[in-house]
Chains A and B, each alone.
Chain A
Amino acid sequence: MNQKVMDGVYLNILQTQQFKTIRFSVQLVAPATKETLTKRSLLASVLSASSQAYRDQVAIANQLQAMYGAGFNMNAYRQGQLAIFSISMRIVSPQYLRDTIDLQQQAIAFIGELLLKPDVIDQAFNAVTFDREKENLQRYIDSVADDKQTYAALKLRELYFTDQTQQTPNYGDADVLKTITATDLYTYYQQMIANDRIQMTVVGNVDEEKLALDLAQLSLAPRGEMLPGIFYQQAASNAVRELTEEQAVQQGKLNMAYQLPAYFYQKDYYAALVMNALFGGTPLSLLFTNVREKASLAYYASSNIDAFRGAVMVQTGIESHQKERVLAIIEAQRQSIIAGDFTQAMFEQTKLALINQFKSSLDSPGYLGQQQFNQIFVPETELDAGRFTTAILAVSKQAVQEQAAKMQLQAIYFLKGVDTNEA
């Protein structure tokens, strides 16, 4: 149950004895833009590098060690149209320790120190820390180009989305980053802390009264509640946008984006889940078996749903001279779903795989925390294994065929490699 702590600040507790840990997260939510994504990404690095109480990485690491190897993570990402700044901590559930240490209080205090008492001098972040973290983020952005699979995925998104914010990677934009100063970032930080909607989530075996007292230490202030809807939509285009780049790599990467407006737990979502699982979402899917296994055309070939942005993305690693054959065979797989040309057995086992995947994820505290969070913004988010199972089993063959027919190819990105055996 999501409890309102004050205007704009919420607490959601999932009581469970299943895990050996307690997981706390604090998420600050604001509308995403190219600028906010970049600033928040840099903030995650700067705030987790030092604070007034913990002057450097060593001081932070020592405190985490003293808290029995507590896990700590600060990161910024996008979910649809929202920018999320997230701090999470994982501690051993105190019942398993032979120690009287108050880990829960310490963990929450630690979150407070890093998030709310940053290392600031004269209305700007500590210049040494700021410069170093900015440079590291810059380097990180540059190095993404070295991982060709990620690089191709990012280029496809840049090509597919018409909105600048959606074209921007989770970690932000290199050009925006260059312009940010230590003063700008501190000004933005103050706005974020004062105005962002705050969602706190706890997963584990906790004493709720004590938790409320420990969280009160954070001294958060009330704030506004207004946010845009989480889902992103764009008009479909009649022309397919294509981009080919050439690089000296052995393996080519061919990625494609389709529009499919079946949003997270909204109308047609379950049918789209089954369709994607049949198409390329599981290792038994058509893309995997027919492109990779039967035709030996690709090392990997898969698809996934971007359910907050209404798209299906396909990614493959191929020999570059096979591009046209791979494109044709991928489209042929989609056509066979439209035609209903798949066996009842495959249809049923695909549904079982989705059910298996859903139930399995209930064993992960991180997933449970994330779904609790999603449910705040998308109330239809399903957390119950029984209801999810019923909904998946109810998806008809015809509904799946319709979803495949609704997919509209919008963009093709090809990273052409150097072939040893040109056709």
Chain B
Amino acid sequence: MKLRQNPRLGETLYEETLENGLTVKLYPKSGYHKTYAILTTDYGAIDTTFVPAGQTDYVTVPDGIAHFLEHKLFEKADYDAFEKFGQFGASSNAFTSFTRTSYLFSTTSHLKENLDILLDFVQEPYFTTATVDKEKGIIGQEIQMYNDEPDWRLFYTVIGNLYPQHPVRTDIAGTIESIAQITPEELYQAHQTFYQPSNMNLFIVGQIDDPEEVLSWVSANQDAKDFVAPSDINRSLPEEEADGSDIIPYRSLEMPVTRSKSMVGIKGLTDFGTGQEALEMKIKMNLLLELLFGDSSTQVQKLYEQGILDDSFGYEYAIQRSFNFITLGGDTDDAQGLSDALINILEHYQESPDFSEANLALVKRAAIGEYLQAFNSLEAIANQYSDAFFDEVSPFDVLGLIEQVTLADLAQVAAEFFKIEIMTVCHILPEVAQ
């Protein structure tokens, strides 16, 4: 096993790639009672057009299929995986993002048995027309519930404006209409293509008495199964304008809310991949946004004092395979006033009193502290470091990456992103009584 040691934290990350291509990472945490394991495939909601394993032509499948597959994998001919974990008192869960699907459990006993359950239920699909049809009702309810959530609608309207074609614009769960079309055959096809061991990684963190022994359990499980030889995965995405000229600049919705909501979105036009370049971009962007819009921003404080924004204000930079975008906004009485003010700060970042060497030093110091504090949480360790960014980069390198960022780096990022032609605005307004 490859070892990455961190003397400062007194902790070690063990890594191994098995013969079948599965990457395994182990992170023992001394003093912890719990062990958390997460098995992730590099496959998510946006992967709807691809060449199925063993075929040569592209197919396009219904929106929401990755999430549907995630739900359905738990149910087998003779057991339910959720219940099987439950027999040992373990709890399990799963989630689907735009580009990844993860299955996890946490336990305080029977680690070996739980690892077998995890690997087996994810790697041994079972779908029938009857079980697939029943799931449509459950997921339909989920989609409906999110449709009632104003913040959810705000977010999807913004990314819908930024991406007129890219499937990131669609709800991860799909739509009631799209999931109605899903068949067992399509689920098998997606599973064969994207759940190859070489497209997956297993991250185990927490109480691990003997890393070698835990790895041998995983190897034994994998050696007992037959896998077809790994094949390349070809995905396809619709073309969008390289200069962002197809972005929809504005949309507003009326919903039953007491206060308006306002959000600005910015589309990144460069593809940074998923490796170190993307990770560095993410670190820089988060520092830049924290400088301009974080808790220590004097400009945000001013808007707070003027009553234009409140504690609900927040920002996020999403960077994943094939897309990256910024969203910022929150609740307000003056939806137009808030989006105007945010765009003004973005466009004039150089004149911002917050954009200074002194503030960057503080923001970096906070980022270092938060990075260290996150090693308290097994979930934070596993969820962050099983990400594609860390296929090559070590989690322990992040500190150095934060330390090396300069104000000139941030100016370069700002110059690339803070341009009106790649921005969009969405307002959610209270319904006017008829």
Contacts and interface: CB of A to CB of B under 8 A. Distances in A.
B230 interface: no
A91 B368 CA distance: 12
Contacts of A19: 376
B108 A360 contact: yes
10 contacts: A20-B375, A65-B296, A66-B365, A250-B148, A351-B89, A352-B88, A353-B86, A357-B91, A359-B33, A360-B34
Interface residues of A, number: 67
B376 A284 contact: no
B82 A284 contact: yes
A388 to B, nearest CB: 12
Contacts of A132: 304-305, 307
Contacts of B237: none
Interface string B354-396: 0000000011011111101101101000000000000000000
B296 A249 contact: no
A148 B109 contact: no
B294 interface: yes
B134 A296 contact: yes
B251 to A, nearest CB: 20
A299 B141 contact: yes
Contacts of B147: 250
B178 interface: no
B258 A68 contact: no
A98 B298 CA distance: 29
Interface residues of B, number: 59
B107 interface: yes
Contact of A363 (B32, B365, B368): B32
Nearest to B298: A58
B299 to A, nearest CB: 10
B86 A284 contact: yes
Contacts of A143: 258-259, 331
Nearest to B370: A69
Contacts of B99: none
Contacts of A97: 372
A58 B87 contact: no
Contacts of A134: none
B83 interface: yes
Interface in A10-36: 16-21
Contact of B109 (A56, A91, A356, A363): A356
Given A57-B295, A146-B258, A251-B144, A16 B82 contact: no
Nearest to A142: B258
B257 interface: yes
Interface in B240-290: 256-259
A245 interface: no
B141 A356 contact: no
A289 to B, nearest CB: 8
Nearest to B34: A360
Contact of A56 (B87, B301, B365): B301
Contacts of B311: 136, 140
Interface of A: 16-21, 56-58, 60-62, 64-71, 90-92, 96-98, 128, 132, 135-136, 139-140, 142-143, 145-146, 148, 247-251, 282-284, 292-293, 296, 298-299, 317, 319, 345, 349, 351-357, 359-360, 362-363, 365, 385
Interface string B131-162: 00010011001101101101000000000000
Contacts of B296: 58, 61-62, 65
Contacts of A139: 259, 310, 331
B83 A284 contact: yes
B224 interface: no
Interface of B: 8-9, 30-34, 82-83, 86-91, 106-109, 134, 137-138, 141-142, 144-145, 147-148, 150, 206, 256-259, 294-298, 301, 304-305, 307, 310-311, 331, 362-363, 365-370, 372-373, 375-376, 378
Nearest to A293: B138
Q: Which of A298, A345, A356 has the most CB of B within 10 A?
A: A356
B370 A385 contact: no
A91 to B, nearest CB: 8
A64 B376 contact: no
A268 B150 CA distance: 42
Given A356-B107, A359-B33, A65 B366 contact: yes
Given A298-B141, A299-B141, A353-B86, A69 B367 contact: yes
B141 A362 contact: no
A48 to B, nearest CB: 11
B376 A20 contact: yes
Nearest to A317: B145
Contact of B372 (A56, A92, A296, A356): A92
B295 A64 contact: yes
B228 to A, nearest CB: 33
Contacts of B134: 296
A299 B89 contact: no
In the complex, the 4 A-B pairs of residues with the closest C-beta atoms, listed nearest first: A352-B89, A68-B369, A69-B369, A18-B31
A250 B145 contact: yes
Given A251-B144, A296-B138, A365-B376, A66 B362 contact: yes
Given A92-B369, A146-B258, A299-B142, 20 more contacts: A20-B9, A20-B376, A57-B295, A62-B362, A65-B366, A66-B365, A68-B368, A69-B368, A140-B311, A143-B331, A247-B256, A248-B256, A282-B86, A283-B91, A292-B138, A296-B141, A353-B89, A355-B108, A356-B91, A359-B33
Nearest to A298: B141
Nearest to B290: A65
Contact of A360 (B31, B33, B83, B88): B33
Contact of A58 (B109, B148, B258, B297): B297
A353 B91 contact: yes
A363 B34 contact: yes
Given A69-B368, A249-B148, A283-B82, A146 B257 contact: yes
A299 B145 contact: yes
Contacts of B141: 251, 296, 298-299, 317, 319
A356 B89 contact: yes
Nearest to B86: A284
Contacts of B86: 282-284, 349, 352-353
Q: Which of A21, A70, A282, A363 has the most CB of B within 10 A?
A: A363
A321 to B, nearest CB: 14
Contacts of B366: 64-65, 68-69
Contacts of B259: 139, 142-143
B89 A20 contact: no
Contact of B373 (A69, A146, A292): A69
Contacts of A363: 32-34, 206, 378
Nearest to A295: B137
